[in-house]
């Protein structure tokens, strides 16, 4: 797949130069997940007490956080009040040196908007220097299987247009736009169609270049 629009720059995995929209995806079944093996030298481990700073470092490296202080705030909001559950919900990938290089969490909607019992895949990230090594797909598949083992039969993923490549991966895993979100943030999904031309987004008219670029980028 390739972009349907010509961009004036090469897209980054976390792209602040495109307009921001919140995107919500769902998958109605978790019993037919694809299988991906980790590359040699990597292994899955679960959260252990004291792993907070490793989580922050990964998310910061992946540009999901602005720094350690921001990470502390996000951690407190999502996980600090519920650390007792993290050993069975938060996944890491470690390299041969025992360094944590990627993470994802089989969680739930912390804001109480979703009362369906679906699991929520939160804060998927691969350390910058380990991106492109084939870790993302095994991480997502492993965490979704963990989610299923915790009793969730369906899954929701919150993401955004800025992390367009992650959104493409979720679409590849059989996720699709939640109808309410597709209606509310249709222009965000039009951006995703223009950037990826993903088959799951055929119903969306591709966005034009001026609709994709952030205001700062358009103003030059």
> For the chain, what is the mean pLDDT?
95
Predicted confidence (pLDDT) at residue 119 exceeds the cutoff of 70: yes
Mean pLDDT confidence for 121-129: 97
Q: Where do the CATH 3.40.630.30 domains begin and end in the chain?
A: 34-153
Length of the chain: 220
Asked whether 56 and 75 are in contact (CB, 8 A), the reply is yes
Read off the tokens for 164: 């367009």
169-190 pLDDT tens trace:
999 999 999 999 999 999 999 9
165-174 pLDDT tens trace:
999 999 999 9
Alpha-carbon distances, residue 106 vs 1, 8, 87, 90, 139 (angstroms): 29, 37, 11, 6, 11
Asked whether 104 and 126 are in contact (CB, 8 A), the reply is no
Banded pLDDT at 51 (limits 50, 70, 90): very high
Q: From CA 6, how far away is CA 58, in angstroms rounded?
A: 31
Return the CATH number of the domain spanning residue range 34-153.
Answer: 3.40.630.30
Banded pLDDT at 1 (limits 50, 70, 90): low
Instruction: Check residue 218 and give its pLDDT.
Output: 80
Mean pLDDT confidence for 125-143: 97
Predicted confidence (pLDDT) at residue 220 exceeds the cutoff of 80: no
pLDDT > 70: percent of the chain: 99
Banded pLDDT at 3 (limits 50, 70, 90): confident
Q: From CA 209, how far away is CA 133, in angstroms rounded?
A: 30
Predicted confidence (pLDDT) at residue 88 exceeds the cutoff of 80: yes
Better-scored residue on pLDDT, 95 or 110: 95
Instruction: Check residue 207 and give its pLDDT.
Output: 97
Mean pLDDT confidence for 37-60: 98
Instruction: Check residue 217 and give its pLDDT.
Output: 85
């Amino acid at each position: 797949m390739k972009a349907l629009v010509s961009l004036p720059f090469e897209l980054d995995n976390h792209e602040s130069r495109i307009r921001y929209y919140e995107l919500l995806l769902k998958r109605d079944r978790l019993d037919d997940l694809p299988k991906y093996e980790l590359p040699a030298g990597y292994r899955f481990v679960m959260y252990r007490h004291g792993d907070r700073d490793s989580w922050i470092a990964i998310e910061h490296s992946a540009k999901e956080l602005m720094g350690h202080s921001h990470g502390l705030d996000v951690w407190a909001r999502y996980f600090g009040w519920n650390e007792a559950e993290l050993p069975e919900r938060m996944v890491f990938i470690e390299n041969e040196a025992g360094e944590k290089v990627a993470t994802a969490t089989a969680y739930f909607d912390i804001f109480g908007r979703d009362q369906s019992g679906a699991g929520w895949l939160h804060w998927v990230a691969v350390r910058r220097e380990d991106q492109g090594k084939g870790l993302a797909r095994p991480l997502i598949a492993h965490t979704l299987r963990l989610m299923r083992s915790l009793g969730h039969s369906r899954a929701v993923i919150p993401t955004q247009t800025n992390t367009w490549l992650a959104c493409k991966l979720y679409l590849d895993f059989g996720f699709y736009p939640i109808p309410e979100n597709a209606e509310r943030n249709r222009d965000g999904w039009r951006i995703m169609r223009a950037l990826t031309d993903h088959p799951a987004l055929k119903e969306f008219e591709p966005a034009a270049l001026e609709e994709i670029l952030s205001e700062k980028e358009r103003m030059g």
